[in-house]
Amino acid sequence: MGRNPSNFNETGVAGGYDFRYGIRTDDTVVALRGQEGIRELRRMRENDPTVGAILIAIEMLVKGAKWTFRPADTSDQAREAAKFAQDCMDDMDFTFEEFLGDAVSMLPYGFSLFEMVFKRRSDGRIGVRKLGPRAQWTIELFDVDTGGVLKGAWQQTYTGGARVYLPADRILLFRTTSANCDPAGRSVLRNAYRSYLYATHITEYEAVAIERELNGMPVGRIPSEYLNPSASPEKQAFAEKFKAILRDVKKNAQGYVLLPSDLYEDDEGKLSDIYQVGFELLASKGSRDIDTSKVIMRHQGDIARTVIADFMMLGQNDRGSYAMSKSKSDVFIKGIRSFLNSIASPINRKLLPALWDANGLDRALMPQITYENVAPIDLDELGKYIRSLALAGANLFPNPDLENSALSAAGLPERAVDNPKVPPTVGQDDTIGEDP
C-alpha cells in the first residue's frame, strides 16, 4: 500500500543533532567540539600563515566583487525599487564592505550570524540601520526543531553577562554548507586541522632545534653527591639552580654563566686541573636525517588543498606551470562564486522580504542582490573571443551594451547612451592597417 499523499506529517529528523548542549558536540575531534572548537578554529585563523593568506585572498575577492540589485523587471517602478534597496545598503551604520568582511568569517567557523536592525529613514520609510555581527564564540547553541528548521539562537553577550535569545525572524544566518540542516555549517578548515597541528608542532620543534644547533646543547657537571636524593637541602638547591642555568642559557647580549674556580685535589693533596663544577656546549657533529622544511611545506600544501587554494603554493618548488596555475585558480574562483551565492541567498530570502513587508511594498517589484566581476577579466582572451565571434559572422557592433561591457572590463569609461558613436569624416580612409 502506497503512502497517503494527504498525510503531511514529518516522521524522521534531519540529522539527529542535539543542540541542547551546544554547537558540534558530536565532532570526531574532541578539540573541535563546542565553544572550544570555535576558539581552536580562531587560533588557526589568526596564527597560521597559510590559513591567514588564504582567508585574506578570499575576503579580498568577495569585497572586490561588484554587488548590485537587479530590478524585478524593466519597468520604472522596478528600477526605483532596486534603487531603494541600494540606498538602504548605502545608508547603514556599517558599510556594506564591512558587512561582507564579517559575513566571510563563515569560512573558518562554518557560519556567521547577524542581527537585522531597522530604522526610520528621513523619507519616512523603514530602512536598515545595520546588520549587526554576532561573534561565533558568543553563540552558545541554536534552537532547531526536529525537522531542522532554525527557530533562533542563544547568545552569551559577554563573559558572565546576560544570555539573550535571537529569534529566527531577526537574524541572517550565513553558512558554508547546509548538510543535514546543521545551522552551524562546516568550517572550510575542518579537513586542514590535522595538517595545521603537525605543521605548527614541527615548526616549533624546528625553532628549538635551530636554537640548540646554533648555541649548542648545554652540558653541566657537578659532583654526584649533589644529585643524590639524600643530599642536604643546600646541595639540592644548588643542583636545581644549576639546572635552571642549563635550561635558560642563551647566546645573547645578556647571557652568561658564572662558575666557581675551585679545583679538585689529587691523591697527594695537590690541586688538579679539574674544576669542581663544569659547563660546556655540546655542538652537533652532523646534519639531520629529516628535512623539516619539506615536511612543513607538505602540510601547508595540504591546508591549501582543502580550500582548493593550492595554486598559491606553486613556485615554492621546481614544479608547476602557467597552465596548471590557471586551471587551479579557475577552480578556486568557482569556489568563491559558491561562497558569494551563500551570502546573496539569505539577503534575498530574508532581509529584502522583511524590508519590503515593513514598508508595505509590493513583493512583485522586489529586486534581487547579485554580483559580478569576481576576478579580473583576461582582456587578451576577451579580445580573442570577440574577434572569433566577429570572424564567425556575428553582428556585434553597433551595440552600446556590448561596447560598454568591454570598456568596463578594461576599466575604461563607458559611453553614454545618448552619446552616439561619431561616424568617420567624409573622405577619411576607413581602411585600417593598409597602405593608401
Q: pLDDT tens digits, the chain, 436 residues: what are they?
A: 455 666 667 766 666 555 555 677 778 888 888 888 899 999 988 888 888 888 888 888 888 888 999 999 999 999 999 999 999 999 999 899 999 999 999 989 999 999 999 999 999 999 999 999 999 999 988 888 877 788 999 998 876 678 899 999 999 999 988 777 788 888 888 888 888 888 888 888 777 777 666 656 677 778 878 888 888 999 889 888 888 887 777 655 555 565 666 677 777 778 777 777 776 666 665 556 667 778 877 777 777 777 766 555 555 554 544 444 566 666 677 778 888 899 999 999 999 999 999 999 999 999 999 988 766 666 666 677 677 777 777 777 777 777 767 666 666 676 665 555 555 554 444 444 444 4
Q: Domain boundary at 376, 401, 419, which?
A: 376
Mark whether 62 and 147 lie in a shared domain: yes
Q: Are residues 366 and 411 in the same domain?
A: no
Neighbours of 285 (CB within 10 A): 5
Number of domains in the chain: 3
Say if residue 262 is in the same domain as residue 312.
Answer: no
Cell numbers 618548488: residue: 317
State which of 376, 395, 410 marks the end of a domain.
Answer: 376
Alpha helices in 275-321 (DSSP H): 292-306
* Same-domain pairing of 228 and 312: no
Distance separating alpha carbons of residues 377 and 399, to the nearest angstrom: 20
In a shared domain, residues 245 and 129: no
- Whether 31 and 94 share a structural domain: yes
268 Cβ contact list (under 8 Å, min separation 6): none
User: Which residues does 14 contact at the CB level (< 8 Å), separation at least 6?
Assistant: 146, 147, 148, 180, 181
Spell out the long-range contacts of 347-350 with Cβ–Cβ below 8 A and sequence spacing 24 or more: 347/172, 350/116, 350/172
Give residue 163's domain range: 9-189+307-376
- Count Cβ atoms below 10 Å from residue 301 Cβ, excluding itself: 19
Taking a C-beta distance cutoff of 8 angstroms, is the pair 226, 240 a contact?
Answer: no
Name the residue type at position 145: D
CA 163/CA 146 separation, integer angstroms: 23
What is the pTM assigned to this prediction?
0.68
CA dist., res. 195 & res. 301, Å (int): 9
Clarify whether residues 116 and 67 are in a common domain: yes
Give yes or no: residues 408 and 267 share one domain: no
Phi, psi of 111 (to 5 degrees): -155, 160
Q: Count of residues for the chain?
A: 436
**Cα(96)–Cα(225) distance, rounded to whole angstroms?**
73
Are 55 and 26 in the same domain?
A: yes
